[in-house]
Chain A
Amino acid sequence: MMDQQNDLIAAIATPEAVSAISVVRLSGRGASATVEKLMNLEQGKLTGRRRAVGDFAGIDYLVAISWPFGNSYTGEEMIDIMCHGSPGTPGRILSKLEESGARIALPGEFTRRAWINGKLTSLDVLTLSSEYQGDNRGDSHRDLSKELLELTSELEGLIEFSEDHEVSNENQIQVLLKDVHVKAEALLNKVRRAEVLPRVFIMGPVNAGKSTLFNKLYGQETVVVSSIPGTTRDGISRQISIAGRQIEISDSAGFGGEVLDGKALTLLLSSIRSGDRIVWMDPCCEKPANEISDLHQVLFLKSQADNNTNTTNSGWLPFSSVSGEGMAELFQFISATEKGSSSWRIERIVELIQQAITAAKYSDIALSAEIVGEILFEADQSDMSTDAVERALERFCVGK
């Protein structure tokens, strides 16, 4: 991905349907020059909005809108070509661009570039992703950021100038703080929905005690958040929360123990992400004769340890769902799944806003402002779970 970071990409950005307008988007180095050439314009002449002529003339009545480097959605040179939304027309434009050297964009590639170029924050991408899934409830991260910035300027105005100029007052601040709180909670829900959770697969031969463990995790020590349809063949998945972290557990009962059929195994292995964990249970301490043994994120449990006379092989943890032996170690293993998940960050934001409200209530506006500064920092941390963003981007369509 890195080596082709700003090569020229193009895609139809609107749905294929009869509509008033369709848009073909072009972004990357040389975007302007390419379109200028097609339009028989001198180099540098395509600025702002312009009727597209030249090679395009035969296609339709077209308008090209050009954004300069640094100022577009993607942050690159970018051009939107608008045409009538009749079937075929956008496609013809796209072919012209392809002939001129543009590559068809991958799904979400425009947004990825916007993110890489600092035009969108990680949270922006996540919320866009959930909106794109048809989830328009609540407010987006951009609204929250905007509100936070407004709050900052009110707070700073109150601190620096209210003695001389009476620019802000405390009531205003309280109202703004509460507003931000509501927005942050809405955002939290939204990101929670958008986020792909780290998963824990419980695997092993038949009767190794997988379902007992699964039910134990799902039923008692943990809080049930929601239930999601099976993600492994015939298996069941549940969303649970351990030590404040959202995790998806899967009982892969359907794989039927040691004889995993090749296809299912390949499928499963290819879907395992770096943040996922596998718990392999076997009372007899036999390692599976497949690639799972080589994965580093596996915990081997010698199950039914409470009534099991087999010797414990090295690298295996004696475990019993009944007596609770090994449970603490298991919890630790599970909750060590991928750090920095986005909803975890936003939970922190919600908590911080609560603190800011309290500080303001006790007339510590400076503390309130400090906390809001901290929130803004949290909200645009660039190291925020790039994995989550990559996954969210996968859900985007071509042209977004």
Chain B
Amino acid sequence: MSEYQVLVVGGGHAGVEAAFAASSLGCKTVLITPSISKIAFMSCNPAIGGIAKGTLVREIDGLGGAAAESADRSALQFRMLNMKKGPAVWGPRAQSDVNEYSKAQSQKLKEARVHVIEGLVTRISGPTDRVSGVTLTDGTNISSDAVVLAAGTFLKGILHRGTKSWPGGRRGDVSATALEQDIRDRLFHVKRFKTGTSPRILRNSIDKTALSQQESHDLKFRFSWASKEMIRNREECWLTRTTEKTESIVKQSLGHSPLYSGRINGTGPRYCPSFEDKVTKFPDRTGHPIHLEPMGLSSRVMYLNGLSTSLPEEIQDRIVRSLPGFQNAVISAYGYSVEYTCFETGEFDETLKLRASDNLFVSGQILGTSGYEEAAATGLLAGANAARKVLGRKMVVPDRMNSYLGVMVNDLVMRGTDEPYRLFSSRSENRLNLRQDNADRRVYSFALDLGTLSKGQIADYENRDRLYESYKKTVENKRIKGKSLSDICKRPEVSHVDIAQKIDLDAGDLTKMGILETVVLDLKYSGYVKRAEKRYTVRKRYGNVSLRDIENYSTVKTITIEAREALNTRKPRTLSEAESIPAVRQADMDALVLYLMNRSVSRET
């Protein structure tokens, strides 16, 4: 008998959701992390959400996860990004109080009766195909039926600034070196990624009169249907721009940058570039926007969003002071970058279980992702599947047509990533449907498959669903001057607020208004969504022809060596999955089809 059913290594964004989900399924769960006070700590910018990411947070809510409610509780300021780009790509984003968020997530763990142990895991115990628990620094053994790894940026983490580098998972935290070695000793394929963060500034050292205040939105928004209160704007954020002086300091200092002097070998994200990257890629641009965001309510420290850098300290001082309003700015913590180990694509499948093991799971940054939201969502999936495995239930996989979680997991497993993977709305083939307003509806059936929802959550959902159906019926049946209301919905200038008036819905009831909004948008986009789904199936014309019978592609001589290798590592289940692997070209697909046909013929005779 093991002490625990599910054991989670690492109390970051992924680990917390993994433990929370496993516990929701009724498993006796333990979370091991070096410091309780840093549970779900925001290592980088103090905010949750954004384009696609905010939608993902609402999916987490629909799947019974914890992050959405904590994001609401700790929010300081709210903005709906992309407000003028269409409802399908609206990106809710809350500025967060870092400590409040961490406390809120710890509270969630407590409510879920997750056992939290302070400690650093040095080894996984038992053979890889069936692990039996972990060992901590002090030699303690803890046994468990399944283990979920969620070690973030800590696996042999190395921090860099200027010419200095030192081991660490992030500023002030030790690196998980022994665990990384154990992973390598178990012959997992791993790779090195890197990411960076910006300097923090003392609030009272900035001259705010030189800055412009960033507009916040009072939309009465909440990420979670369970939150009783809407997000209020309690703090201010500010905007400044880099000057020519800023860019020229950086350009002259590139030789001191660990990124450019070749000391960092890891691959960094293209889309969240360091400031060094920005001036190199856009040498003629000046006036890059820099956002100034508080680390907490009335916090003395502000975060400089947009100025991620790992240049030496004295250069960071000069860069910061070249910004308008920052002549006397004092840096309280310098920017740096971190290089860390994560698993190579192909090591895990879409349940987030490592292929080489029966009961070892991965989630968060070590999958090759980047971002709190991405980490939290994959944590939820890995934790729930680990619990399902232990309970002898079938593990489940989200569908990429229904959720960003599905898009992300499918991308990570089938396409792989050679830089930290971040969600974008354009990664989805079904973007008009993957909206933030209908997140709970889209993921509900998957949530039931996962088994993470409580009875109360199911009842709440069903109430909302009843309202949805009744509004939908009203809109479809009601006619105004001979025109059906559903046709009126489809006009580009009509929004749910107009429809609410026509069906006498109280605009003050935010829940009801939210549901009506989904009814209206579903109607507006239904034709496009249907066609998108059709296109998706046409593109996937190879459908679900199983490839399970092919154990080794090396014997399929008609396809290119490149494709053989890719197929051997990814092990796609079906032809359509094979098609989505970049190394597999059309000609390889044709050859593969022929191969399958010939084989089935020779078997019949």
Contact = CB atoms under 8 A, between A and B. Distances in A.
Contacts of A371: 528
A362 B89 contact: no
A173 to B, nearest CB: 10
A377 B559 CA distance: 27
Among A163, A362, A374, chain B packs the most CB atoms within 10 A around the CB of: A163
B289 A164 contact: yes
Nearest to B282: A165
Interface string B41-52: 000000000010
A158 interface: yes
B89 A159 contact: yes
Given A365-B86, A365-B89, A359 B492 contact: yes
Contacts of B82: 159, 163, 365
Contact of A364 (B51, B86, B306): B86
Among A118, A161, A364, chain B packs the most CB atoms within 10 A around the CB of: A364
Among A118, A160, A377, chain B packs the most CB atoms within 10 A around the CB of: A160
A365 B289 contact: no
Given A159-B425, A163-B51, A370-B432, A364 B528 contact: no
Nearest to B88: A366
Interface string A326-364: 000000000000000000000000000000001101111
B502 interface: no
Contacts of A158: 85
A159 B431 CA distance: 12
Contacts of A53: none
Contact of A160 (B84, B306, B424): B424
B493 interface: yes
Interface string A362-396: 11111111110010010000000000000000000
Interface residues of B, number: 27
B458 interface: no
Given A370-B528, A374-B531, A374-B535, A159 B51 contact: yes
B578 to A, nearest CB: 18
B586 interface: yes
A161 to B, nearest CB: 8
A163 B492 CA distance: 24
A contact residues, range: 20 to 34
B401 to A, nearest CB: 14
Given A160-B51, A163-B51, A163-B81, A366 B86 contact: yes
A166 interface: yes
B426 A370 contact: no
Contacts of B492: 358-359, 361-362, 364
A161 B306 CA distance: 12
B86 A367 contact: yes
A366 B535 contact: no
- Which secondary structure characterizes the binding site on chain A? helix
A362 B491 CA distance: 10
Contact of B432 (A160, A161, A163, A366): A366
A154 interface: no
Contact of B289 (A166, A361, A377): A166
A156 interface: yes
Contact of B85 (A159, A166, A358, A361): A159
B525 interface: yes
A368 B82 CA distance: 14
Interface string A249-286: 00000000000000000000000000000000000000
Contacts of B532: 370, 374
Interface string B284-326: 0000110000000000000000100000000000000000000
Contacts of B531: 374
B87 interface: yes
A159 B51 CA distance: 8
Interface in B418-436: 424-426, 431-432
A367 B493 CA distance: 13
A370 B434 CA distance: 12
A366 B492 CA distance: 13
Among B89, B493, B531, B535, chain A packs the most CB atoms within 10 A around the CB of: B89
Interface string B29-62: 0000000000000000000000100000000000
A367 B528 contact: yes
Interface in B520-546: 525, 528, 531-532, 535
A377 B535 contact: yes
B499 to A, nearest CB: 16
A164 B81 CA distance: 10
A377 B288 CA distance: 36
Contact of A365 (B85, B91, B271, B535): B85
Among B85, B288, B532, B535, chain A packs the most CB atoms within 10 A around the CB of: B85
B67 to A, nearest CB: 21
Among A118, A363, A366, chain B packs the most CB atoms within 10 A around the CB of: A366
Interface in A146-166: 156, 158-166
Contacts of A160: 51, 271, 424-426
B521 to A, nearest CB: 10
Contact of A118 (B81, B91, B586): B586
B599 to A, nearest CB: 22
A364 B521 CA distance: 12
A363 B431 contact: no
A366 B89 contact: yes
A23 B525 CA distance: 53
A367 B432 contact: yes
Nearest to A360: B86
A57 B250 CA distance: 60
B468 to A, nearest CB: 22
A358 B431 CA distance: 19
Interface in B492-538: 492-493, 525, 528, 531-532, 535
Interface of A: 118, 156, 158-166, 170, 358-359, 361-371, 374, 377
27 contacts: A156-B426, A159-B82, A159-B89, A159-B426, A160-B51, A160-B425, A160-B426, A163-B81, A163-B82, A164-B289, A166-B289, A170-B84, A358-B492, A364-B86, A364-B87, A365-B84, A365-B89, A366-B85, A366-B431, A367-B88, A367-B432, A367-B528, A369-B426, A370-B88, A370-B432, A374-B532, A374-B535
Interface of B: 51, 81-82, 84-89, 91, 271, 288-289, 306, 424-426, 431-432, 492-493, 525, 528, 531-532, 535, 586
Given A159-B82, A367-B86, 15 more contacts: A118-B586, A158-B85, A159-B51, A159-B425, A160-B424, A163-B91, A170-B84, A361-B492, A366-B85, A366-B425, A367-B88, A367-B528, A369-B426, A370-B431, A370-B532
Nearest first, the 8 closest Cβ-Cβ pairs linking A and B are A366-B86, A364-B86, A366-B88, A362-B492, A365-B85, A366-B89, A363-B84, A156-B426
